């Protein structure tokens, strides 16, 4: 991740002006404890706050109450517990209002393009006007969007704020959380803070906030007030465990409130309901791939999940039977996009060699066509920053798991074309990572063939710009939309074939990458990744992993 400026705990960094040196002990600095001070914890590794800014913050209030960086993700941070703290600033500055308005007009609406939700476009905005902590969190999100998308900033006559200004708003939000008395509001704040940390690249912090929100949700139970936030918790929880990085592990849990149980006689009444339920189901299958030994794993593995999915498909067919799809094009495409992801996810549930994905070529092709169509229709909003995962994660999944050269290079091309950050998923970084994955597997294929050139049957990186330019998307899309929902329940059903394996060289199992664990340095624009290669046989915990360390620039 981004390198930090300076080291040591917050207390010693502030005191370093007086030549005090931190021993950097974790979770608390021993120098602080030995002198009777409270150790205020550590700034995120991505923090660019200067000592002058730090000193100014320390004069306002105790930084120890605002930083939640050394606690384990399984615990709710103390910053979300209700206890009184100093007063907030009486009125917002004009620049804050501009960044807040940027979030209101651009960031929130862009987030709900694929998965509609009123949380980011209504609920969090209303809460920001009565909770200073939420106000600062939203301003920080607007500032991050302003830094990401220069054209948006110019249109609003905004100068992108420096990193430390965004961080100051973030830390103000954590500080002011102490004054929040209502757990429902603390839950909303934990989601906003998790989104800020995600977009800043502060992986450890984001997971603390998401886990805190998950724990708060379990304490609150099912109420109408938290129902919408439960959907956001489920999405951010899914993102946290789907984004693997060894330096910031995320503790998997399976609270009942985050599961999805298909009710008897299911009736779907809106696209928002349909997409929310698909995202819950996607969480089920992806958590099963993580090997979580809980009820969620059993549901996916014993066939009950597929029964529930077919019930959902029947209900979806009934709903769209009374809807003019052409007048809800984006929603109709989005629901098919997430449905294809869920169908693919079932392949992940059942362990086996990497070659098992070759049988899912039609599903990969369908998902790619839907992603291309969504990208076309999103227009200028595609180049943006959003709080939740969407196209970037799906395109990376397609390119890393589907070994058909046309499909995977086409997904890599689209990923590299995007200028988009979705939570932790940056299109530029993961596009570069995917390109390197493809190159490594093609190199392995050539090596395993005894030096014979297999590339005439494959595609090299040089052909990336020469792929079909997408003029056939409409034809492919019509074939995809024409598939009836009820057809999925028929075991004899086969998707329309958009690509075939005829004449295509197959990458051997031992030449494939089983897992990709990245560390992204935004400052250096480098992805450092560990590739865990397949052994060519059934995976076993007793096998020593075959590892390649790779770096690529973005």
182-192 tens-digit pLDDT: 889 999 999 99
Alpha carbon distance 403, 441 (integer Å)? 9
Residues 225 and 275 both lie in one domain:
no
Residues 108 and 152 both lie in one domain:
yes
* Burial zone of 219 (CB within 10 Å; 0-12 exposed, 13-18 middle, 19+ buried): exposed
SS3 426: strand
String of DSSP letters for 57-117:
HHHHS-GGGT---SS-TTS--GGGS----PPPPSS--HHHHHHHHHIIIIIHHHHTTTS--
Alpha carbon distance 410, 468 (integer Å)? 8
Cα–Cα–Cα angle for 199, 201, 202, nearest 5°?
110
Record the tokens describing residue 507, joined without a space: 């990458």
**Domain residue limits at 452:** 252-553
Residues 375 and 521 both lie in one domain:
yes
47 pLDDT exceeds 50? no
Which pLDDT value is given to residue 213? Answer: 86
Q: Which of 196, 229, 262 is the endpoint of a domain?
A: 229
R_g over Cα of the chain:
24
Confidence (pTM): 0.76
Task: Report pLDDT digits (tens) over 451-479.
Answer: 655 444 445 444 444 455 445 667 778 87
Cα–Cα–Cα angle for 338, 341, 347, nearest 5°?
155
Nearest to 200 by CA among 417, 396, 385: 385
Phi-psi region of 41 (alpha: psi -120 to 50; beta: other; left: phi over 0): left
> What's the mean pLDDT in 511-532?
89
User: When comparing pLDDT for 479 and 195, which is higher?
Assistant: 195
Residues 270 and 193 both lie in one domain:
no
Residues 205 and 339 both lie in one domain:
no
> What's the mean pLDDT in 45-73?
37
- Any idea of the CA torsion for 527, 530, 536, 538, to the nearest 10 degrees? -120
Task: Report pLDDT digits (tens) over 297-318.
Answer: 444 455 677 888 888 999 999 9
Task: Report pLDDT digits (tens) over 214-242.
Answer: 888 888 877 777 777 888 888 887 777 66
Alpha carbon distance 488, 452 (integer Å)? 41
Task: Report pLDDT digits (tens) over 68-106.
Answer: 322 223 333 333 333 223 334 456 788 899 899 989 988
Alpha carbon distance 88, 180 (integer Å)? 12
34 lies in a domain?
A: no
153 lies in a domain?
A: yes
412 lies in a domain?
A: yes
Which pLDDT value is given to residue 111? Answer: 85
Which residue is it, tokens 């250096």? 524
248 pLDDT exceeds 70? no
Percent of the chain with pLDDT over 90: 33
Q: Which of 229, 262, 296 is the endpoint of a domain?
A: 229
Record the tokens describing residue 398, joined without a space: 């397609």
A 10 A CB-CB count for 212 gives: 28
Lowest-confidence region among 178-187, 203-212, 313-322, 446-455: 446-455
Which pLDDT value is given to residue 217? Answer: 84
67 pLDDT exceeds 80? no
User: When comparing pLDDT for 379 and 273, which is higher?
Assistant: 273
331 pLDDT exceeds 60? yes
Number of domains composing the chain: 2
Residues 225 and 333 both lie in one domain:
no
Residues 100 and 131 both lie in one domain:
yes
Which pLDDT value is given to residue 152? Answer: 59
Task: Report pLDDT digits (tens) over 121-145.
Answer: 999 999 999 999 999 999 999 999 8
Residues 210 and 263 both lie in one domain:
no
Q: Are 552 and 435 in contact (CB under 8 A)?
A: yes
Residues 286 and 195 both lie in one domain:
no
Average pLDDT, the chain: 76
């Amino acid at each position: 991740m981004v390198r930090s400026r300076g080291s040591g705990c917050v207390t010693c960094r502030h005191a370093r002006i007086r030549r005090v040196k931190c021993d950097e002990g974790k979770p608390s600095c021993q120098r602080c404890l030995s002198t009777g001070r409270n150790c205020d914890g550590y700034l995120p590794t991505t923090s660019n706050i200067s000592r002058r800014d730090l000193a100014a913050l320390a004069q306002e209030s105790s930084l120890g109450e605002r930083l939640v960086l050394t606690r384990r993700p399984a615990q709710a941070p103390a910053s979300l517990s209700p206890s009184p703290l100093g007063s907030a600033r009486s009125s917002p500055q004009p620049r804050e209002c501009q960044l807040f308005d940027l979030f209101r007009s651009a960031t929130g609406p862009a987030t709900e393009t694929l998965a509609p939700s009123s949380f980011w476009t209504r609920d969090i905005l209303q809460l920001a006007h009565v909770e200073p902590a939420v106000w600062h969190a939203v301003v920080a999100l607007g500032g991050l969007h302003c830094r990401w998308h220069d054209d948006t900033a110019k249109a609003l006559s905004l100068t992108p704020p420096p990193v430390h200004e965004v961080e100051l708003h973030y830390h103000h939000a954590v500080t002011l959380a102490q004054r929040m008395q209502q757990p429902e509001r603390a839950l909303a704040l934990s989601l906003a803070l998790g989104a800020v940390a995600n977009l800043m690249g502060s992986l450890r912090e984001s997971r603390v906030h998401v886990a805190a929100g998950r724990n708060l949700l379990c304490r609150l139970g099912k109420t109408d007030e938290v129902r919408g936030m439960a959907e956001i918790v489920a999405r951010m929880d899914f993102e946290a465990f789907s984004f693997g990085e060894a330096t910031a592990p995320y503790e998997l849990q399976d609270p009942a409130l985050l599961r999805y149980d298909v009710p008897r006689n299911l009736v779907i009444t809106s696209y928002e309901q349909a997409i929310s339920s698909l995202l819950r189901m996607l969480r089920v299958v992806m958590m099963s791939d993580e090997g979580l030994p809980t009820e969620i794993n059993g549901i996916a593995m014993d066939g009950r999940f597929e029964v529930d999915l077919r019930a959902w498909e029947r209900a979806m067919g009934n709903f769209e039977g009374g809807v003019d799809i052409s007048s809800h094009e984006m929603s109709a495409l989005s629901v098919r996009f997430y449905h294809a992801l869920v169908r693919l996810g079932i392949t992940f549930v059942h362990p086996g060699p990497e070659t098992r994905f070759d049988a899912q070529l039609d599903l990969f092709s369908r998902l790619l066509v839907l992603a291309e169509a969504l990208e076309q229709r999103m227009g200028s909003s595609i180049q943006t920053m959003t709080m939740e995962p969407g196209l970037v994660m799906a395109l990376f999944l397609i390119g890393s798991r589907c070994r058909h050269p046309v499909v995977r290079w086409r997904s890599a091309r689209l990923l590299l074309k995007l200028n988009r950050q979705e939570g932790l998923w940056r299109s530029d970084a993961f596009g570069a990572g995917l390109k390197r994955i493809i190159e490594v597997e093609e190199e392995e294929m050539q090596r395993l063939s005894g030096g014979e050139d297999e590339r005439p049957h494959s595609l090299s990186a040089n052909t990336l710009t020469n792929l079909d330019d997408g003029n056939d998307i409409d034809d492919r899309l019509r074939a995809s939309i024409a598939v009836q929902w009820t057809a999925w329940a028929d075991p004899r059903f086969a998707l329309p074939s958009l690509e075939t394996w005829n004449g295509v060289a197959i990458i051997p199992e031992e030449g494939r990458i089983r897992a990709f664990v990245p560390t992204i340095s935004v400052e250096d624009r480098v992805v450092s990744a560990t590739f865990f290669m397949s052994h060519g046989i059934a995976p076993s915990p007793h096998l020593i992993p075959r590892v390649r360390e790779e770096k690529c620039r973005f």
